[in-house]
Amino acid sequence: MARPQEFEVNDVLDHAMEVFWHKGFDDTSIQDLVDATGLNRGSLYNAFGDKAHLFADVMDRYRAHSLARLLATAPDDASPRQLILDFLQGLVDRARCDTDHKGCLITNTAAGLYGCNEHMSTWIRQTLISLEDVLSNVIERGQQRGEITRQSSPRALARYLVSAAQGINVMARAKPCQDTLRDIVTNTMRALEPQSS
Amino acid sequence: MARPQEFEVNDVLDHAMEVFWHKGFDDTSIQDLVDATGLNRGSLYNAFGDKAHLFADVMDRYRAHSLARLLATAPDDASPRQLILDFLQGLVDRARCDTDHKGCLITNTAAGLYGCNEHMSTWIRQTLISLEDVLSNVIERGQQRGEITRQSSPRALARYLVSAAQGINVMARAKPCQDTLRDIVTNTMRALEPQSS
DNA sequence: GGCTATCTTGAACGACTATTCCAAAACCAC
DNA sequence: GTGGTTTTGGAATAGTCGTTCAAGATAGCC
């Protein structure tokens, strides 16, 4: 019926993600995206609307591949405490491999959410809440198994962990030292320990 | 000998800080700064060099007034554990009053440190390290008084708290809900508790 | 083969960017 | 008042920004 697209959408998103992740939304120009994706300006606009929409698509793809999947897809009989440790350690490992210290795209965007970008604000908030939900479930199982303290509710502990993850991501960017990140994870986990050890 | 400046440097910095804080470095234009400070473009460049230098001056002033002063200026006989709680609670209080959710200028900049701004990167890193140093001293006193766990070194615990503070600041921006922030502080403090309670 | 619908292309758009420059104004020391 | 020095005001610069648009290219359907 018509001329078909000559590119794979996900490939374009991956290349665009690399640029956005590396330079941030504001510092990324359309020209950067044209260079990185190989697409023409017109094709970009035709396929993704404008820069903000393209960024939104990139964020969706980033979230779909994020470490939170680790928690959601774990088998029910996995140790909740170990699962959380793996999650935090995963953040640290990612930081170790991230030689140019890009950090986490979601955290960076959350901290850089300037102006009145209402859509992205709610996207971020909902993303954090859904991570909170997943963590809350894991924590509840952990409390039932006696692996995690009952001094706080699963919800409160989940919020604590979401915040801790944001902290780790900021540190990974600002002071990307493995010793530091290890110390952070170790002490973050201590807050989860049951009273009687 | 010559014509004197017609403005107070600190007043200009305060106004510039408000804009940078609200919109971020990239989204703040010289025109915004001209409007906010009341200074003419020429005067701005004459007094502060360029945009990056002005921002650096703003950051210096921000740091000088930051909550870390609370820790450094506390009397030696103050309860270290209470001091740390006050520090974290101070972040939450600031978030409560911050109706437009600007968060922490340092954290925002740390997470948004894109490109190769070497000077600002090291400024951020040194700022975080100096906060780490102050916290480490407080923690050491707390350990001596039995208020804080000895399971980790003061340095490791300090790093944990620096990271926790970054997390709180990100959350204050992304999900500025008082209940959430309270839960985070409560559980952050638990990691400091001595084993025998 | 023509028709239609889509994608691609590259130039062009106006608006905004940070920065520079220079004449005019304002002050101080003499 | 005068000379010397700095600030000031505002125009001007050169560049980049995100976006649009019209023409050309390519495919399937009748």
For A150-180, the pLDDT digits (tens) are 999 999 999 999 999 999 999 999 999 999 9
Please provide residue A112's backbone torsions phi and psi, each rounded to the nearest 5 degrees.
-105, 15
Classified by CATH at the fold level, domain B66-190 comes out as Tetracycline Repressor; domain 2 (1.10.357)
The secondary structure of residue B74, as a DSSP letter, is: S
What residues does each domain of chain A span? 9-62, 67-190
Rounded to whole angstroms, the Cα distance separating B32 from B34 reads: 5
Task: State mean pLDDT over A103-112.
Answer: 95
Architecture of domain B9-62: Orthogonal Bundle (1.10)
> Is residue A197 pLDDT above 60, yes or no?
no
Shortest alpha-carbon distance between residue A163 and chain B (Å): 5
Give the separation between CA A38 and CA A22, rounded to whole angstroms: 18
pLDDT of residue B6: 79
Fold of A67-190: Tetracycline Repressor; domain 2 (1.10.357)
pLDDT at B196: 64
Q: Is the CB of B53 within 7 Å of strand C?
A: no
Using a 10 angstrom Cβ sphere, with 0-12 exposed, 13-18 middle and 19 or more buried, the burial of residue B100 is exposed
Strand C atom within 7 Å of B30 CB: yes
pLDDT attached to residue A102: 93
The string of pLDDT tens digits covering residues B110-141 is 998 765 588 999 999 999 999 999 999 999 99
pLDDT of residue B116: 59
Q: Which residues contact B195 (CB under 8 A, 6 or more apart)?
A: A197, B149, B151
Q: Check pLDDT > 70 for residue A30.
A: yes
Best of B105, B125, B173, B187 to mutate (most A CBs within 10 Å, chain A): B187
CB A94 within 8 Å of CB A66: no
- The yes-or-no verdict on residue B48 having pLDDT over 90 is yes
Q: What is the pLDDT of residues A41-74, one digit of tens each?
A: 999 999 999 999 999 999 999 999 998 888 888 8
To the nearest whole Å, the CA of A22 is away from the closest chain B CA by 7
Q: In the structure encoding, which two tokens stand for residue A25, read together?
A: 């939304």
CA distance A136 to A152: 11
Task: Average the pLDDT over each of A124-128, B11-15, B94-98, B112-116 and give the range with the smallest value.
Answer: B112-116
Across the range B183-187, mean pLDDT stands at: 98
Q: How far is the C-alpha of B103 from the C-alpha of B91, rounded, in Å?
A: 9
Q: Which bin fits A78, alpha (ψ -120 to 50), beta or left (φ > 0)?
A: beta
